[in-house]
Amino acid sequence: MSWPGLDASLAAPDPALARGRRRIVLVGVLFALLFAGLGLRLLHLAPEERTAEAAPEPPLAEPVRRRPDLVDRRGELLATDVPVPALAADPAQIADPGRTAERLARILGGIDPAVLERRLVKAKEAGRRFAWIAHRIAPSAELAVLEAGLPGVFLRTSEHRVYPKGSAASHLLGFVDIDNRGLAGVEHALDYGRLAALRDAREVALSIDLRVQAALRDELGRAFREFRAIGACGLVLDVRTGELLGLVSLPDFDPNAGGTARPEQRKNRCTGGSYELGSLFKVLSHAAALDSGRVRVGQRFEIPAALRIGRHTIRDVHPARRPYTAAEIFSHSSNIGTAQMVFAAGGAEPLRSMLGRLGLFERAPIELLEVARPQVQKAWPDVVTATVSFGHGIAVSPLRFAEAVASLVGDGTLVRATLLELPESTPLQPGPRVASRRTVEDLRWMMWLTVADGTAKKAAVPGYLVGGKTGTADKAGRGGYRRGAVLASFVGVFPLDAPRYLVLAVIDEPKASAASGGTRYGGKVAAPVVGSVIARIGPLLGVPPSDPAVESRFRERWLAMRPTAATDTGGPRFAAVDARR
């Protein structure tokens, strides 16, 4: 290597010079490295700045937490969150709240600029860095807001809860407030109740079957309108697992606009209301009497025209004109007979014990928060025992009652209703036994008799063995029972050869109409509802037609027990059953 500039003046190489040159080169290289390092550092910094130029995230935490989707047992979507554009503000960055409010009001429409201005000013004074302007804006407004370029105003994506099935399951699902917090039903329970553990799940599968729910709502709604009732409750319960397949309370509401629902619409009459269910309760009192072992199904009881207990007199709507067997007391729904049966079984003790075992003195442990406490008398003198035996002087929620009946006609073990789908793999764990197998068999048979040849003929469904019990309860008012206000109800179970589903319909204050033959009896108002529901949901749920052999067995048992023609004075006519079948 040669350095011409230096070589020209110095002919002879000088070792000192050579050393100097080497040093210069060394320094040169060092500087080159230094500059290269600086250059690298520059390059290193440059792209870093580019990422930083992305829109600065406003100092806001995600204000709306996503909720789990709610689906029915078949995966039908019942509630979900959809992303919607929303408008928020950082009040600290808004220099002129008045102008901002005015411009936003012009873009969004339907907003009072003065109100918005006040809100922004207040938030600014409070030092808050976040304020909602609109939780939901139209996609077209989104662009307009962007174009307006207002400082301190941010577009955000918010979650908006939608209930695509509309009012189909309003009381079950409940609804949410503007901040996506649950205010009723499952939504409420997800935030504050027993379902809180599932709050962050992606999806919550409910026990209900939308097809069953829709059929139930349809049929119950028809009766609700036909009889101009003030309310109605219907539910379908899986007797084996306690899963609720449907729960309808009328009047209902659209959860998409839950906030606008009136209180009577919001009330969940199936769980949140306690009712004196009247004769429906005979299912329980008869179970108590039979389970005591002191009363048999075929045992005959004299039925006086009126039963006096202390100062009280009990009467029957349809007075019996001959002694009734226990089964007939049930199928003809005799109050006097039921009270006598319960007394024959030992009075208050067996009845109380049965109701206690069935959990009727406690709140139903369903996942919802809207659960009414049963209203029960403290002391049980004879008159209370008698009235409770036919469903007065004790008020429970229809759901609680349905659980009790399911426990008794299922297999005699306690059933607890649930709104969550039980995975098929979970083995069923039977609850504690509440009634003997024999009581269960007797009860099923008496319920069959009620439909085949009793007060509930209108609940019969060709193809299925249906059993049930009607109820027509006088409603209590101020200072006694109200004249003309009744609760018409029917609890049905099918197929009776191997009970699988329970259907309950309660219609509050029906007005007599032509469809019920001018009456308001449970057998005329509620039984047809249950019959239609069973006819619709049975095939949907894949319930096979009942075994005719079981029906013949039931019928033979009845033929062996029914009164002979000589003692029959206008009571049941069994020929009618044969004719219809």
Instruction: Return residues touching another protein (CB under 8 A).
Output: 1, 22, 25-26, 28-29, 32-33, 36, 39-40, 43-44, 47, 50-51, 76-78, 80-83, 157, 162, 164-166, 168, 210-211, 213-215, 217-218, 461-464, 535-536, 538-540, 542, 544-545
The answer to whether the beta carbons of residues 154 and 57 sit under 8 Å apart is no
Angle subtended at Cα 352 by Cα 348 and Cα 356, rounded to the nearest 5 degrees: 175
**Pick 374 or 538: Cβ nearer another protein:** 538
**Pick 109 or 462: Cβ nearer another protein:** 462
CA dist., res. 237 & res. 120, Å (int): 51
The answer to whether the beta carbons of residues 85 and 137 sit under 8 Å apart is yes
User: Least CB distance from residue 8 to another protein, whole Å?
Assistant: 19
**Does the annotation count 279 as an active-site position?**
yes
Tokens matching residue 326: 């226990």
Using the Cα atoms of residue 111, residue 114, residue 118 and residue 124 in order, give the sign of their dihedral: positive
Coil, helix or strand at residue 197: helix
**Pick 77 or 108: Cβ nearer another protein:** 77
* 413 backbone dihedrals φ, ψ, rounded to 5°: -110, 155
User: Least CB distance from residue 500 to another protein, whole Å?
Assistant: 14
**Pick 92 or 541: Cβ nearer another protein:** 541
User: Least CB distance from residue 215 to another protein, whole Å?
Assistant: 8
Spatial neighbors of 277 by CB under 8 A, at least 6 apart, are 391, 395, 396, 398, 401, 471, 473, 487, 489, 506
**Pick 37 or 381: Cβ nearer another protein:** 37
* Residue 275 DSSP class: B
Nearest to residue 502, comparing CAs of 405, 391, 417? 405
- Residue of 158, 167, 274, 279 marked active site: 279
**Pick 517 or 542: Cβ nearer another protein:** 542
CA dist., res. 258 & res. 510, Å (int): 26
User: Least CB distance from residue 76 to another protein, whole Å?
Assistant: 7
CA dist., res. 534 & res. 467, Å (int): 11
User: Least CB distance from residue 466 to another protein, whole Å?
Assistant: 11
User: Least CB distance from residue 196 to another protein, whole Å?
Assistant: 23
Residue with tokens 């003309």: 484
Length of the chain: 581
CA dist., res. 278 & res. 94, Å (int): 65
Give catalytic residues, as residue numbers. Answer: 279
